[in-house]
Each structure stands twice: as structure tokens, then as C-alpha cells.
Amino acid sequence: MAVREWLALVAFASAIIFGTAGMIGMFRFPDPYARMHAGGLLGTTATFSVFIGSLLLAPDRATAARIVIIMIFFLISAPTGSYIVGRFTWETGLPVWKPKKRRNITDKEQEK
């Protein structure tokens, strides 16, 4: 395998890692704002890793130029979509998650 193919393989492997981590975050985070953050990172890092891998494997300059144009479009549209969803969620009044206060053993002993 050539060096370009190895670099593309690394880019695709990193896309799998970023995608898996983002999906775990989307299910584990407590509120929609944190989940949207994980989804935004998942979409950006995993997608750009796939684009970079595809760019490395592009057979000619015309195909590479098309991939670059798609990357620019994605770079503009993805944050805009996340902003719109986040703004709508905020305006509906959905509260931000706050952690519960933990009680220490010393707090219980002081109450006795």
C-alpha cells in the first residue's frame, strides 16, 4: 500500500473513533444542549475525517476539487444548523441540567 492509502486509512479509522465517541456522548449526556454539543462534534470531526480520507484517495484533481467544495459547504452549513436548533431549544425555555448536590458523610454526622 502507498503512503496515501495508509494516511487515508488513518483518517477513516479516526472517523470511526470520533463517531463512536460522539454517539456515546449523545446517549450519555444529561440535557439537550450537551447532546447537541456531542452531535456537533460527532458530525464535524467524523465527517471531516471521511472527507480528508476521500481527498487523499481522489483519483484526479477534478474529484478532489469537488470534495473540497463539499467540505466548504459543510463547514458553512453545519454550524448554522446547530445554531438554529440550539436557539430554538433555548427559546422554548428548556432548562439547563444542574447536578444534584452530593452529601458527604460529615454532613450526615453533623445533623445528628
At 29-61, the pLDDT tens digits run: 888 888 888 888 888 889 999 999 999 999 999
What pLDDT score was predicted for residue 58? Answer: 94
Q: Phi and psi of 66, rounded to 5°? A: -65, -40
Across the chain, mean pLDDT equals 86
Q: With CA atoms as reference, report the closest residue to 21 among 36, 7, 48, 41.
A: 41
* Distance of alpha carbon 65 from alpha carbon 60, whole angstroms: 9
What pLDDT score was predicted for residue 70? Answer: 94
Structure confidence at residue 66 as a pLDDT band (50, 70, 90): very high
